[in-house]
Amino acid sequence: MGPLLGVLALAALLSPGRACPAPCSCSPKKNGRLLAECAYRELRDVPRGLSPNVTILTLSANRLGRLGRAALAEVPELQSLWLGYNHISAVEPGAFAALPHLKNLDLSHNRLADFPWQDLRNLSALQILKLSNNRLGAVPRGALAGLRQLRSLWLNDNELATLARGTFEGLPALAQLQLFHNPFNCSCKLFWLKEWAHGTSVVISRAGSTLCAAPARLRGRPVTDIPGELCVPPSAQLTYLSGPGDGLTLTLHCSVAGSPPPEIRWRIRTAARRLDIHGPTVARDGGAKAGRRRVLAFKNGTVAIPDFGKEDEGTYTCLAVNDVGERDVSVNVALAGSANPAAEELPRDDPQAGQPGGHRCSKGDELDPSGMGEKLVIVYRLPGEARSGAGARQFRLGILPLALGLLLW
Ligand SMILES: *[C@@H]1O[C@H](CO)[C@@H](O)[C@H](O)[C@H]1NC(C)=O
Ligand SMILES: *[C@@H]1O[C@H](CO)[C@@H](O)[C@H](O)[C@H]1NC(C)=O
Ligand SMILES: *[C@@H]1O[C@H](CO)[C@@H](O)[C@H](O)[C@H]1NC(C)=O
Ligand SMILES: *[C@@H]1O[C@H](CO)[C@@H](O)[C@H](O)[C@H]1NC(C)=O
């Protein structure tokens, strides 16, 4: 069969008209469209010699195994490409990118474990994408973004265990989605899908057959039924821990809740540096180098900056992250010292400013009761006596938090 087809293809290539390769039959359609019908021909490759005017190409039920980058280069006007029921296991990136008018792409019932997702960026006219009955194990984050005409998406009968949050965002025309028969892992990473499914107007075909394969206790349960109490988005609260006896150490504590238990990260932004701390760490390298100070981040959610100075002023943000979501809460920390006369002029008996000794921001004071991420300010003031008396490094009781809890916005 192979050699015969080769001869046919060659014949097509050499034939004078070159409008329709021998294995296919071509016929004009309404609106000047041209159909090339090449289905059920046992073809192993896309036939050569297609007219550049072909707008509909059916290659379904052949034996195509691989699509090279240039496989469709002859037909840049394609609007519909039917490739279902082949043996396609690989598509070289770029094969579809040159088809900017493509509206319908059917690759269902093939052997694709991967897909050139980046090609979709060029397919802004795409309305129907059928990738069902393949071996796809993942849809990369953002892969579908930009398909503003996409109405129907078939991803059923693949090997998808999870989908990234937001996979179906940015698809304003999406009306129908098929996800059933995938081995979904209903961990909290997939919880967004349940919430999205409940809120969207997209019709999810056979949602009742879109089932969890894992974990064991949820096996066989629809994805839209993942129990809410298992997956709780993080909440975070920032409290101020420094007090007399801590010297010039700024100590903040971030207490978090959620399910699964959130991981705590810190984001520190000062004029001179940007520091991101993922997980507990005790930074090396003490105060030796100017501008680089030790930040001690403990596993329990406490962060301490010893020898807090002007260069440490900035925004301290605690991020609580789990599979369901992320929450952040920030505090601005400023130091009122001789270098900052304006801050020093804050009235001492301002009720907002608190008593000498810092009662208003005593240990454990909550900086962000709502946990909604408003920014608050702590202004420290170096007490005059200490400044005039002892050396700068000896304020054992040195920091008087002067004003706390000024809501900025
Ligand atoms: C393609 O279409 C154009 C205009 O519709 C026509 O002039 C041209 O001959 C066609 N080309 C082929 C190879 O059929
Ligand atoms: C895909 O789109 C990009 C950006 O619009 C363009 O530069 C590129 O040439 C296109 N690719 C093909 C194969 O047409
Ligand atoms: C499901 O996902 C969770 C969280 O990502 C992971 O820990 C677990 O190993 C996965 N289970 C299976 C069966 O893949
Ligand atoms: C967290 O651990 C550090 C170091 O062990 C300790 O200094 C701090 O007080 C702890 N924080 C809380 C809120 O218990």
pLDDT along the chain (409 residues), means of 10: 46 51 92 92 96 96 97 96 98 96 98 97 97 98 95 98 95 98 96 95 96 96 93 92 63 94 95 89 44 74 86 92 94 66 34 29 42 51 41 30 32
Q: Which CATH number does 20-230 carry?
A: 3.80.10.10
Q: Specify the pLDDT at position 349.
A: 30
Q: Specify the pLDDT at position 359.
A: 26
Residues enclosing ligand 3, CB less than 6 A?
161, 185, 187, 189, 214
Instruction: Give residue-wise pLDDT tens across range 234-251.
Output: 999 998 876 444 567 888
Q: Specify the pLDDT at position 406.
A: 30
Q: How far is the CA of 100 from the centre of ligand 2 (A)?
A: 9
Can you say whether residue 85 is alpha, beta or left, with left for phi > 0 and alpha for psi between -120 and 50 degrees? Answer: left
Q: Specify the pLDDT at position 374.
A: 45
Instruction: Give residue-wise pLDDT tens across range 370-405.
Output: 434 444 556 665 554 333 322 223 222 223 343 333
Do the domains at 20-230 and 232-408 have one common CATH topology?
Answer: no
C-alpha to C-alpha distance for 386 and 402, rounded to whole angstroms: 15
Q: Specify the pLDDT at position 335.
A: 74
Ligand 4 pocket mutation pick from 298, 362, 365, 367 by most atoms within 8 angstroms of CB: 298
Q: Which CATH number does 232-408 carry?
A: 2.60.40.10
Q: Specify the pLDDT at position 351.
A: 30
Residue nearest to atom 13 of ligand 3 (CA): 214
Residue nearest to atom 13 of ligand 1 (CA): 51
One-letter amino acid of 370: S
Cis before residue 244, ω within 30 degrees of 0? no
Minimum-distance ligand to the CA of 255?
A: 4
Q: Where are the domains of the chain?
A: 20-230, 232-408
Q: Specify the pLDDT at position 32.
A: 80
Query: Does the CB atom of residue 33 touch ligand 1 within 6 A?
Result: no
Query: Does the CB atom of residue 41 touch ligand 4 within 6 A?
Result: no
| Torsion, Cα of 71, 73, 75, 76 (10° steps) | 130
Q: How far is the CA of 97 from the centre of ligand 2 (A)?
A: 7
CA atoms within 13 A on the CB side of 79: 10
Q: How far is CA 344 from CA 56, 339, 350, 357, in A?
A: 76, 9, 13, 16
Q: How far is the CA of 35 from the centre of ligand 2 (A)?
A: 25
Q: Hey, how many other C-beta atoms are within 10 angstroms of the C-beta on 321?
A: 18
Q: Specify the pLDDT at position 381.
A: 56
Q: Specify the pLDDT at position 240.
A: 82
Query: Does the CB atom of residue 18 touch ligand 1 within 6 A?
Result: no
> Kindly report the CA angle at 60 between 54 and 65, in degrees rounded to 5?
105
Q: How far is CA 35 from CA 54, 91, 123, in A?
A: 6, 23, 20
Residue nearest to atom 9 of ligand 4 (CA): 302
Q: Specify the pLDDT at position 337.
A: 54
